[in-house]
Structure 1
């Protein structure tokens, strides 16, 4: 009688059985990625071109900001220019030791001072002659003066009366030089108020009459034969009486831009 090999019976898995070696099923599928992070589809031509090009020929994004680079270069240039200017200024001051010119009113007189009583009021006739002393204290620097317009007046406050104006030609003043500039103006039959005429005549007799000299000019600097710029300045001399001027030479006030006093 032949021997039959019997296979073990296959056991049926009970309902709900789960193999421990199998990964657990995911009951909830992951949510789709946000729209912004999804790769944007490219046109067919661009996809083919980018895919067909080797990596060395593919376009690269610029990482440097051109505007920031320009700003950095500009700032560095400005800093260097300011530094060089400061160094040049320091060397100039140490070598030349520059000083401003000085001005003083050395004399003032009224020639032919006459007040007449006319039917329409009083009239004034006189010639004003002033001398302004200009001094250059520098040993290596030269000053250049442009054409100078000079106005002269007498009296103060509401009694100030114009005595005419004139123009002096420009000139050059060398180092350690003192120059006396003569200024002359005149008025003839200038109508004035009778009350003002009496006050001017009284103060002229007692030498209490205040005189004023105002000049507008341009001053330039010369170094080794080189002329450096021309700065507009205002010069105001006087504001003192004739009596005080006989014993003193008051210094003049030098300013620029109408409010920056240089002296």
Structure 2
């Protein structure tokens, strides 16, 4: 089995003070993907850059304290790249790691922001990433696309869908892209195992939203249709704290 975790930590240094690395080692996961690290590796100590048992890979934003993704991996990938697209790499949006059984995309999708201020950028990112993943699949390989998608796909995926229809993360254009993505042959792994309501991975810091479980499911592991037979489990870990998001996990048969 191969166990993968994904977690938007909302600042890796802040998360470390709240037990990030104690949690990381307790999971014994094969691969841990973090988003919104808000750090460059040269700013960090060895506990961040060389955690015992793992090799770390980084994509950081040019702007300090913003965005960024990281992969901690027990097995060294065959190759690790960014998107090689300047407008996205400048914000540290993606790490692409090739393993023997699949290519992993660790992604921090842009937020479309109030009144859709960055919606065009967000959709450009979504479409570019989808094209890259589809190209890998067309070459006969499998893909795992994990991270903070900043999209709640269906009404079941957030607490108040009607009142959020004009809010970033649930705009019609974002949900339409997610429809297109699924229709193109990508699988929302969590919904293969759990179709219940109130399964959220992000909560606002305001109004005691997490205590009341008024949240959104915006963190995903998606895979190509061909990888579906290897799915063994997918979970949201709402009992793990340290960020406004909680981790999500995927278990694959080797």
Query: What TM-score, normalized to structure 2?
Result: 0.24
- Structure with greater Cα Rg: 1
Q: Which has more strand, going by share of residues?
A: 1
Superposition TM-score, scaled by structure 1 size: 0.24
The higher-RCO structure (CA 8 Å, 6+ apart) is 2
